[in-house]
Chain A
Amino acid sequence: MPEIRVTPLGAGQDVGRSCILVSISGKNVMLDCGMHMGYNDDRRFPDFSYITQSGRLTDFLDCVIISHFHLDHCGALPYFSEMVGYDGPIYMTHPTQAICPILLEDYRKIAVDKKGEANFFTSQMIKDCMKKVVAVHLHQTVQVDDELEIKAYYAGHVLGAAMFQIKVGSESVVYTGDYNMTPDRHLGAAWIDKCRPNLLITESTYATTIRDSKRCRERDFLKKVHETVERGGKVLIPVFALGRAQELCILLETFWERMNLKVPIYFSTGLTEKANHYYKLFITWTNQKIRKTFVQRNMFEFKHIKAFDRTFADNPGPMVVFATPGMLHAGQSLQIFRKWAGNEKNMVIMPGYCVQGTVGHKILSGQRKLEMEGRQVLEVKMQVEYMSFSAHADAKGIMQLVGQAEPESVLLVHGEAKKMEFLRQKIEQEFRVSCYMPANGETVTLPTSPSIPVGISLGLLKREMVQGLLPEAKKPRLLHGTLVMKDSSFRLVSSEQALKELGLAEHQLRFTCRVHLQDTRKEQETALRVYSHLKSTLKDHCVQHLPDGSVTVESILIQAAAHSEDPGTKVLLVSWTYQDEELGSFLTALLKNGLPQAPS
């Protein structure tokens, strides 16, 4: 029985460390290879020993697919390929391939240089790992080997994020990675065609949320920023370097352009500049507006946003500053925050979620006096705003994607178990497809019934079509022919041709059957009665009474003879060829019921 097996090594009923093993028709594919933000020990990487205890992974995996450049989807890649050992192909889209090493390098620096970890992957390992990457285009079908093919679809979320269809023969799996069904200021919405996969593996971060329209949030954000700078205040927006930061930049940049504002906007430099460069390059991956207008001006060539220098923070007058990191726990954003916190004209806008214990979390929960290192107490007078910009699909969006792809079954990953449970019920209830939500290490087995293509000879097809081609060509039809299996290919040909090809002589196969009839009359009369009975019953067949006393119906022969022992019983000999099986068995059944009483 063919089947698809799915085992999440990470992201099963959990967020972070995405890593899912799929085996489909004997091919093994690993989807994503991420790290977990929450751990600093062995648990931060997926447990690759599940795949094999000894030996190289290359022998067990056909390919690895990375959906996008976030570290919880690609963070373990150098460890996996260089330290554990994998030499096979790694597939990702072009923007992911470009940005991924920057983020990995950044991650490595923090882990090794700042936290002083040993036994971590090196810069060289990142480079070596990236050499194994094969970049794919959107909607490009890539043949991994003779049977396995993959295809990328646009997913929104971040630049270069993609959903992947993995296909072997007629069986297929779609893995969504992270995706967003509502467009934002720099990216479009995820889209997939009706590919009807056997299994759809989808993220479910917001399984129990239906979000408000994005416009209100944007408008609020712009209004707050605008009002503050008009008052002469300074605005601090702590961000992570990639993804949301670009969206907010575009948002502010266009607003400044539209409203003709002159207040300076700064962006703290660092890895952002490199990343921005790639945003400029991959215009085809952005949304309609940016794609349409880039001929006049590339929207990522910011006119109003300039690089930040730490001395600017003390400049008088209003300004807007984007600074990393996003949770105000260290670095430049915290420095600026300390400088500005005392003035009630200023404002800090937190555009995302903050982990407990960070300054960001404290001020969001309303704390107004912060203890800094060195027993200083910082009084926060500036306004604190919270603004959520998230790029995951909400419950409705997930349902919409499931509706678009029309899968046979759904598997949820990348979400919390409790929330998944709700969505699972909904999917089963509304689409009537089975839905799974395995935990890490748990295997889901999905039996499939693959269709087997059979070639048909043109002659046979035409012969059958002559008998009438109805408009409902999609309905199944009965067809006579011979199935020839040769070199693992299947062909349907007419029997004559099959005989010819195989060099066989045709054998006549006849069935004969005796039917006992209670009849005292002579054989000829019995035959005559049989004839008239059949004549009246089978109106549209050719029934003949031959001079030698036998009756024929088409090619079926019926002869009457006296029973050797009992003269009151006549034996009817019915004989038909294999081709007339249907009619023959019908006739025997008819004759077994006996003849109607003859008018005597």
Chain B
Amino acid sequence: MAAHLKKRVYEEFTKVVQQQQEEIATKKLRLTKPSKSAALHIDLCKATSPADALQYLLQFARKPVEAESVEGVVRILLEHYYKENDPSVRLKIASLLGLLSKTSGFSPDCIMDDAINILQNEKSHQVLAQLLDTLLAIGSKLPENQATQMRLVDVACKHLTDTSHGVRNKCLQLLGNLGSLEKSVTKDAEGLTARDVQKIIGDYFSDQDPRVRTAAIKAMLQLHERGLKLHQTIYNQACKLLSDDYEQVRSAAVQLIWVVSQLYPESIVPIPSSNEEIRLVDDAFGKICHMVSDGSWVVRVQAAKLLGSMEQVSSHFLEQTLDKKLMSDLRRKRTAHERAKELYSSGEFSSGRKWGDDAPKEEIDTGAVNLIESGACGAFVHGLEDEMYEVRIAAVEALCMLAQSSPSFAEKCLDFLVDMFNDEIEEVRLQSIHTMRKISNNITLREDQLDTVLAVLEDSSRDIREALHELLCCTNVSTKEGIHLALVELLKNLTKYPTDRDSIWKCLKFLGSRHPTLVLPLVPELLSTHPFFDTAEPDMDDPAYIAVLVLIFNAAKTCPTMPALFSDHTFRHYAYLRDSLSHLVPALRLPGRKLVSSTVSSNITPHEDPSQQFLQQSLDRVYSVQHLDPQGAQELLEFTIRDLQRLGELQSELAGVADFSATYLRCQLLLIKALQEKLWNVAAPLYLKQSDLASAAAKQIMEETYKMEFMYSGVENKQVVIIHHMRLQAKALQLIVTARTTRGVDPLFGMCEKFLQEVDFFQRCFIADLPHLQDSFVDKLLDLMPRLMASKPVEVIKILQTMLRQSTFLHLPLPEQIHKASATIIEPAGESDNPLRFTSGLVVALDVDATLEHVQDPQNSVKVQVLYPDGQAQMIHPKPADFRNPGPGRHRLITQVYLSHTAWTEPCQVEVRLLLAYNSGARIPKSPWIEGGEMSSHVENSIEGTIPFSKPVKVYIMPKPARR
């Protein structure tokens, strides 16, 4: 009912507006929207009570307002504002003013005076605060206007003494966002008294209200973000705030201290109660470290996070963070880490068997013990032991960042990271494993540490195990026992969790190639060869045996003496594995055999690379296709496409580029072929059949262009233009073909209109790139646009046809880095002969595990499709949490798909495949009003189409009828 009424209201206004505008706007037809201002005015006048008015305003706020009508609306709102007595309505109006002034294309300087005016007469604190917020919106829309900003800052300063914390908050926010950066310039220019914004804000650091104190610090941080250099004097003020009673103040103060420490790292500050001096960054580091044991966990997280980015700190201070002087009954004690290290270096292994093994040693001088160090002592020890896992994660991240910049610190923090592998929360464990991987270049694992690391291989969580495999891929091991240990544990893992097979093989591949000399002495034992006796030939299908071979063969690659230790069957197995698992087994220089694979030495730079040159040359040749006759052009294109495809297969690093260009050439080829059709010369009605080829070509070009746009990562704007241009041509082709094959003119009107809209859209989106499209189809089209607008469909089609024939073939610039998105479904493997049985009408969960390469934003774009034998298709949107990111450009989808169907008489196969969903509308810029409004992202998430990008996998299922 309400909706109906609303419609009625709008209908009425429609009339009003049309009458007003009729004299001026003669040529436009689309002006059907009611004027917002008029509607609002009538609504507000109708309102009898403040509650009513508020309702109208709320309703009004749900709809966007065009830039042209903003000013009118603002006037009406202001007018009503003066009359209104109820503060809540005034509050809403004030907030609407702020929202309206954000409208793009509207310059709010005209409403500023009014806003300041009403500010002066306002009594309610809440409305005052809202008005200041509005002023902030206005001010930030006019960043260049110095005078306005000065004026607003003045207003803010005036209201700083307000008794309400809300008003003071907003004032400080305003100062932070608009406070002038260079005061000398403005002084000369405007003659207004420039204020020292920093001083004013700094005064409010000691305000009585904690919210205002927080706002003051935030304002200061805002000034910093806008590029103002903060004074060093702030440092002392901020340090005092670290002991504030309120957590939000402390949290902000920690940030401020961090900022100052980054600005003045080398300044010298005195240490209180002694006459020593230290660098500011060290002092700040110590202070932030102290906050890691704060009472509030919010502050602790903040502090732990910031520690990670303080790289200028002296190593002396840095290493203190891991140091916690232990004592027991006033005697010095060594930490378990120190003991482990000592045991290891003394050659003895494992311990703990004796009581009093950790007995304290020397006495400590009671005077020298400092229980709360002012410095950084033990900050990370505390952080990693914190009760909140958020703090622990932050501490691990910080450790990671600091260790990346300091190898010596990396060595020291190793023990602590290894300890974190046993955390009770999986996220923390995972995070510490990742961290360890990131710093693995700087470290070598000791045997006892390796032991602890490997213990985690038995973890039941797949993520943890795989992260650990990744870690082992890039760790340095110091001894051959270490390698042996790692192998044994990995094999144990393999028997316990057979699904880890691929990951373990890959891990061993890297382990082998990194430590050839350590593997060498282990070979006889691993292959269980005997100097005199032949041993039994191991089973070639045993995953564990393959694992061992992968390790050995990869080590043998750089260790030429190793193959001498192989027995005969090892060579046979090598040949087999080299063929079947070529990505895991490298080419070996075996005695008496020729090296199979070609040796492309990696030291050739891309410029000299012959294949790169070949690619470039063949493309150059194609772009000269314009000068050939159609027949020759077709042949050349065909050859080149074939060449490119072959090149992509041979050279994996060029596959993306080659595929991408080949697709583009195929589009062109299809277009040429379609235009060569005979049907163009004959009267339309006679050639209904043949036109199939042309329309099919158009359809295929469209598909290919979508693939080009969305399936490749690294596509830049200049390529997108060309792709869209190709699509536009395809659309033109489609239009022409339909025009020729349909009778009657009526449907053509709509189609022409639509096409012209597309052209218009193209022009708007790529206005900047149009100069590059000289002589192209669209270039010509735009020249003739006015004529096309006015002419009849038949003429339009004629023009299009000629232009399509005349247009040149655009050169596709190659992007720097381009990769084709691909996906492989690992699970279900599709080999099972046992159908998955379930009761019809109920659901069965199918585990899907797939790796995705070079997919951008997989959370939104990758979908799973299930095709039932009856042709029914089902699309499943995986949860964002189902995607993992094991490395750059790689993603992993582990999800469950729920299948259900009515009963079948026999088991049958369903197909599972992955789809890449796209939406070309996502490129259209959106208005800020919609962004801020409630009805936001539906448009964005809608799917326009999908591209299948993985091989389908068949799953055998059998829904049984339910038993009664």
| A residues lining the B interface (CB < 8 Å) | 182-183, 185, 188-189, 191-194, 208-220, 222-224, 226, 254, 257-260, 287-289, 364-366, 383-386, 395-396, 399-400, 403-404, 419, 422, 425-426, 430, 469, 471-474
Contact = CB atoms under 8 A, between A and B. Distances in A.
Tell which of A188, A208, A365, A474 has the most Cβ of chain B within 10 Å.
Answer: A208
Contacts of A260: 458, 460, 496
8 contacts: A209-B327, A209-B329, A212-B324, A213-B336, A216-B335, A287-B387, A400-B293, A426-B369
Given A386-B355, A399-B372, A472-B206, A210 B459 contact: no
A477 to B, nearest CB: 13
A426 B370 CA distance: 8
B326 A211 contact: yes
B371 A395 contact: yes
Interface stretch (B418-426, B689-697, B726-734, B955-963): B418-426
A188 B293 CA distance: 14
A259 B336 contact: no
B337 interface: yes
B22 interface: no
Interface stretch (B311-319, B378-386, B884-892, B904-912): B378-386
B295 A404 contact: yes
A189 B296 CA distance: 12
A385 B352 contact: yes
B339 to A, nearest CB: 9
Interface string B479-515: 0000000000000000010000000000000000000
Contact of A215 (B161, B327, B333, B422): B422
Nearest to A299: B424
Interface string B159-181: 00101000000000000000000
A193 B295 CA distance: 7
**Which 3 residue pairs across A and B have the least CB separation, nearest first?**
A183-B387, A216-B336, A215-B419
A174 to B, nearest CB: 14
A396 B245 CA distance: 22
B206 A182 contact: no
Interface of B: 161, 163, 203-204, 206-208, 245, 293, 295, 324-330, 333, 335-337, 352-356, 366, 369-372, 378, 381, 384-389, 416, 419-420, 422-425, 452, 455, 458-461, 496
B369 to A, nearest CB: 7
B341 to A, nearest CB: 12
A494 B311 CA distance: 60
A208 B460 contact: no
A287 B392 CA distance: 14
A223 B416 CA distance: 17
Contacts of B460: 257-260
Contact of A213 (B369, B372, B381): B381
Nearest to A182: B385
A214 B387 CA distance: 12
A430 B207 contact: no
Nearest to B204: A471
B330 A208 contact: yes
Given A182-B385, A208-B329, 19 more contacts: A183-B387, A188-B387, A210-B325, A212-B333, A213-B324, A215-B385, A216-B337, A218-B422, A220-B336, A258-B461, A260-B496, A287-B387, A288-B389, A386-B356, A400-B372, A426-B371, A430-B371, A430-B372, A471-B204
Main secondary structure of the interface of B (DSSP, over half): loop
Contact of A288 (B207, B208, B245, B388): B388
B384 A289 contact: no
Contact of A254 (B161, B330, B352, B424): B424
A212 B425 contact: no
Contacts of B333: 212
Given A183-B385, A209-B327, A396-B372, A191 B352 contact: no
A258 B207 contact: no
Contacts of A385: 352-353
B353 A210 contact: no
Nearest to B369: A426
Contacts of B369: 426
A365 B496 CA distance: 40
Nearest to B352: A220
Nearest to A405: B295
B207 A471 contact: yes
B336 A192 contact: no
Contact of A364 (B161, B326, B355, B416): B355
A525 B378 CA distance: 82
A223 B455 contact: yes
Nearest to B370: A430
Contacts of A210: 324-327, 371
A228 to B, nearest CB: 12
B330 A422 contact: yes
Contacts of B371: 210, 395-396, 399, 426, 430
Contacts of B161: 469
A289 B424 contact: yes
Nearest to A468: B161
B336 A212 contact: yes
B330 A471 contact: no
A259 B245 CA distance: 44
Contacts of A469: 161, 163
Nearest to B216: A471
Contacts of B424: 185, 254, 289
Tell which of B355, B356, B419 has the most Cβ of chain A within 10 Å.
Answer: B355
A224 B389 CA distance: 26
B241 to A, nearest CB: 14
Contact of B208 (A383, A422, A430, A474): A474
A219 B355 contact: no
Nearest to B425: A289
